[in-house]
Every structure is written in structure tokens, then in C-alpha cells.
């Protein structure tokens, strides 16, 4: 049974997914190095996987969505306003964010189409390029090393124009590159630390909950003593994962054990980054941005019943937020 998606009232079948194409400094325009940058995009090496995904590699019908660019700029705001990497024009990043947001607002279409073709580079590396203004805009908004592309290969079911490639840009605040708390996390911790109506113990409890530690973790483990996917119950191998992110939660929600699940690291990352979520009946939803190959390797699929998921009405309220705001639909 295939996976299907409706995008701006057009029905598509998802044929395949190409995940996590890192946008390197040599490609983006927000540069760290001194080079001028190259418009060609590295998509992989010459192999069956690449050829099967891109087929003839010439004049491919592709699109971005305006809303995805807007969401990326919101997600990347922390790095634009508080740059942790040494950009060549670091002092201009904040102003550039405002310019890019306005350019995005001014885009007339929601469905931003362009064509992509392979460029002549010696094998085995495969590079592609486009002269589209939307492709160029992607290079303008992207941040080196912490931005990545994923691509859905789609079959248009509403017309006769065949295969389309849906490009979506994401931000990944990798701790090995930009190991810092976000501005909002720092602001909230500062407010907590300077609050006169909260005891020192309560302040510590709230702040430790951000990283899944302290009393929050202990109470969550009492309710969820094992990972519902793997049944692993060794506390050294378990992560306390907020359902509604700490930074988006009020003080009560931050330490509420109902606002959490216990997972082993792989499933914690899948859930935290929105590649999986759960329905109210404990069935799993898997993001189309996780490739069918990796879904198979993980042994997960949409509709899979996670019987041991500890789900009640209070957790369902938090899950509704996760489905609507965190899950990569």
C-alpha cells in the first residue's frame, strides 16, 4: 500500500524520499569561508540509489512551498539573531533575516516551481543546479552545516505531468556545531532564576526538566518505566522526552510527567525531531520525510499499534500539540 499526500489540493503518491542533504558552506550564501560559493548542489554519488531517485537527471520538475521557507526562517531565527558560527558577515545576519522574511512574504505563489538538471562534474559525485530564483532563495536562507534538504519524489495523481520533486529545507541545531541554548531557553531560565516567588529547589526542578533530568525524569520513569518500542528498561539507556517542548511549555507543563514519554535514544530522536508521532488510539504516524528504506530498517510504519505506549487523556492533550506543531507532515 502506497503513501499519499495532499499538497495545496493536489494529490500525490510518495514514491521515495531522499533524506538529509547537508547544505555546505561552499553552497550557501551565508558563508563562513572566504570562497564565493557554488550554485551546484551535491546530491550523492553515482550509484543505483541516486539514478533510481533522479531518473534521467535532466529538466526535473521540482517545487518548494512558500510556507516551508517561512517556517524555516522562523526555526533559524535563533542563529540569525545570535550567530554561533563565524559568518563572514556576522554583524549583518540580524538585518538579513528581516530582508529574507519580507522577500518571502512578497512571493506571489504558494507553489514555487523550478527545474533541476545535473551539471558536468567528473564522477563519482553527482551535482545538480537550477537557474530558478526560488533555488537561489534557498541558497540565501540556508545556514552552512546546520541546514539540510530532504526531497520527496512524488507521482502527481491529479494530472498527467508525472513525477515531481518536493524540496524542503530544515534546520538542525547540531550540538557539535552550535552547542548552545536557544535565546528563548536562556530567557526563560533567566526569568526562572530571578523569580522571587519560586524557591531555589523549585527553580532547580524547572531548569533540570529542560534536559530531561531531576524530579521530572524520576516521576516520568515511575509512569513509563520502559521504552514502548524496545521494552528496554535499563534507566542508563532511557531518555525522558518532552511531548510539548520545554521551551513552549508554561512552568506547570515543564515539570508535568504527563508531558513526556520514555524512549531509547533512536526513538527519542525520531519523536523529538518530528519524524514520528502518535494518534489517540496509540497508532504510530511516520513522517513522509523519513525514507521508506529507513522506515523498513527501523521496523516502523504508519498505523502500527504501539500497545505499550502509556497514553491517557492528559498525555493526549500534549500529543495534540505535538501532532500539530512538531510532527513533520
| pLDDT tens, position by position, 136-152 | 999 999 998 889 999 99
Q: Count of residues for the chain? A: 329
Q: What is the pLDDT of residue 178?
A: 52
Helices 214-223 + 200-210 axis angle, to 10: 60
Q: Please choose, from the candidates 184, 9, 171, the residue with its C-alpha nearest in 3D space to the C-alpha of residue 82.
A: 184
pLDDT for res 1: 46
Mean pLDDT of the chain: 86
Delimit the domains of the chain by residue range.
3-171, 183-325
Tell me 285's DSSP state.
E
Provide the pLDDT for residue 169. Answer: 95
Q: Lowest-pLDDT range, 159-173, 229-243, 308-322?
A: 159-173
Q: What backbone phi and psi angles, to 5 degrees, belong to 70? A: -65, -45
Query: Could you tell me where the beta strands, DSSP code E, fall in 131-197?
Result: 147-156, 163-171
Average pLDDT, integer, range 29-46:
81
Percent of all residues in the chain with a pLDDT value above 70, rounded to a whole number: 85
Q: What is the pLDDT of residue 312?
A: 93
Give the integer Cα–Cα distance in Å for 135 and 29.
12
CA 211 to chain CA centroid, Å, is 19
pLDDT digits (tens, 9 = 90+) for 192-220: 565 666 666 665 655 555 544 567 888 89
More confident residue, 173 or 311: 311
- SS3 category, 2: coil
End-to-end, the C-alpha distance of the chain in Å comes to 18
Q: Model-level pTM?
A: 0.79
pLDDT at 34 over 70: no
Q: What is the mean pLDDT of residues 277-299?
A: 93
- pLDDT given at position 275: 94
Is a pLDDT exceeding 60 seen at residue 187? no
Phi-psi region at 321: left, alpha or beta (left = phi > 0; alpha = psi -120 to 50): alpha
Question: Is-cis flag, bond preceding 124, omega within 30?
Answer: yes
Residue with cell 525514507: 291
Instruction: Please report, for residues 12, 90, 162, 213, the alpha-carbon distance to residue 159 in angstroms, rounded to integers and kept in the order given.
Output: 10, 46, 8, 52
Confidence of residue 121 (pLDDT cuts 50, 70, 90): confident
Classify residue 118 by its DSSP letter.
Answer: E
d(CA 130, CA 227): 45
Lookup: cell for 266: 533512536
44-51: Cβ within 8 A, 24+ apart: 44/18, 44/125, 44/126, 45/124, 45/125, 45/126, 46/123, 46/124, 46/125, 46/126, 47/124, 50/126
pLDDT in tens, 58-95: 999 999 999 999 999 998 998 899 888 889 999 999 99
The pLDDT of residue 205 is 54
Q: Given a cut of 80, is residue 33 above it in pLDDT?
A: no
Amino acid at each position: 500500500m502506497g503513501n499519499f499526500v495532499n499538497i495545496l489540493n493536489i494529490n500525490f503518491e510518495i514514491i521515495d524520499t531522499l533524506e538529509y542533504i547537508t547544505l555546505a558552506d561552499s553552497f550557501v550564501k551565508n558563508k563562513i569561508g572566504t570562497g564565493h560559493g557554488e550554485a551546484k548542489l551535491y546530491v550523492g554519488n553515482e550509484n543505483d540509489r541516486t539514478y533510481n531517485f533522479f531518473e534521467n537527471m535532466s529538466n526535473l520538475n521540482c517545487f518548494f512551498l512558500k510556507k516551508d521557507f517561512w517556517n524555516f526562517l522562523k526555526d533559524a531565527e535563533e542563529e540569525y539573531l545570535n550567530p554561533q558560527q563565524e559568518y563572514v558577515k556576522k554583524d549583518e545576519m540580524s538585518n538579513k533575516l528581516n530582508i529574507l522574511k519580507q522577500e518571502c512574504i512578497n512571493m506571489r505563489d504558494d507553489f514555487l516551481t523550478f527545474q533541476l538538471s545535473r551539471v558536468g562534474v567528473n564522477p563519482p559525485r553527482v551535482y545538480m543546479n537550477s537557474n530558478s530564483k526560488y533555488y537561489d532563495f534557498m541558497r540565501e536562507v540556508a545556514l552552512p552545516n546546520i541546514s539540510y534538504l530532504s526531497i520527496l519524489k512524488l507521482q502527481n495523481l491529479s494530472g498527467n505531468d508525472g513525477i515531481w520533486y518536493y524540496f524542503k529545507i530544515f534546520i538542525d541545531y547540531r550540538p557539535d556545531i552550535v552547542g548552545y541554548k536557544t535565546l528563548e531557553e536562556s530567557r526563560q531560565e533567566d526569568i526562572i532564576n530571578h523569580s522571587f516567588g519560586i524557591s531555589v529547589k523549585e527553580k532547580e526542578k524547572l531548569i533540570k526538566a529542560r534536559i530531561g533530568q531531576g524530579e521530572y525524569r524520576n516521576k516520568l520513569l515511575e509512569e513509563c518505566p520502559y521504552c514502548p518500542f524496545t521494552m528496554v528498561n535499563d534507566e542508563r539507556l532511557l531518555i525522558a522526552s518532552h511531548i510539548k517542548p520545554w521551551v513552549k511549555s508554561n512552568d506547570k507543563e515543564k515539570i508535568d510527567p504527563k508531558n513526556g514519554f520514555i524512549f531509547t535514544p533512536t526513538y527519542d530522536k525520531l519523536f523529538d525531531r518530528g519524524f514520528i508521532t502518535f494518534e489517540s488510539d496509540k497508532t504510530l504516524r511516520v513522517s513522509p520525510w523519513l525514507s521508506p528504506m529507513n522506515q523498513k530498517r527501523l521496523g516502523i510504519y504508519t498505523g502500527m499499534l504501539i500497545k505499550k505506549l502509556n497514553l491517557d487523556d492528559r498525555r493526549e492533550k500534549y500529543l495534540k500539540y505535538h501532532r500539530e506543531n512538531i510532527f513533520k507532515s
